[in-house]
Structure 1
Amino acid sequence: MNLNQITVPSSSLERAVPFYQKLGLKLIVDALPKYARLECPDGTSTFSIHHVDDINTTNQGITVYFECEELDDEYDRLIELGLAFATPPTNQDWLWKEASLFDPDGNRIILYYAGENRKNPPWRVK
Structure 2
Amino acid sequence: MRLNQVTLPVSEIARSKAFYQGLGFRLLVDSPDYCRFLAPEGDTTFSLHVEERVRPGAVIYLECEDVDAVVARLTAAGYAFDTQPRDERWLWREASLLDPDGHRIKVYHGGENRIDPPWRVKPDA
| TM-score for the superposition, normalised by structure 1 | 0.92
State the one-letter code of the partner of 1:67. Answer: E
2:50 corresponds in structure 1 to 51
Gaps of 5+ in 2: none
State the one-letter code of the partner of 1:77. Answer: R
**Does residue 92 of the first structure (1) align with residue 88 of the second (2)?**
yes
2:25 corresponds in structure 1 to 25
Secondary structure of residue in 2 paired with 1:83: coil
State the one-letter code of the partner of 2:102. Answer: G
Secondary structure of residue in 2 paired with 1:116: helix
> How many residues are paired up?
122
2:76 corresponds in structure 1 to 80
Runs of 4+ in 1 over 2 A off after TM superposition: none
Q: Please identify the structure whose Cα radius of gyration is greater.
A: 2
Secondary structure of residue in 1 paired with 2:41: coil
1:2 corresponds in structure 2 to 2
Q: Deviations over 1:46-76 (max 9, x none)?
A: 11000011223xx5x2111111112111101
Offset, 1:2: 2.8
Q: Deviations over 1:1-51 (max 9, x none)?
A: 4321111000001100111111111111111x2000011111111110000
**Cα RMSD over matched residues?**
1.1
Alpha-carbon distance change, 69 to 3 in structure 1, aligned in 2, over 3 angstroms: farther
State the one-letter code of the partner of 2:21. Answer: Q
Secondary structure of residue in 2 paired with 1:105: coil
Q: Deviations over 1:86-109 (max 9, x none)?
A: 101110000011110000001111
Percent of aligned positions with the same letter in both sequences? Answer: 51
**Does residue 42 of the first structure (1) align with residue 47 of the second (2)?**
no
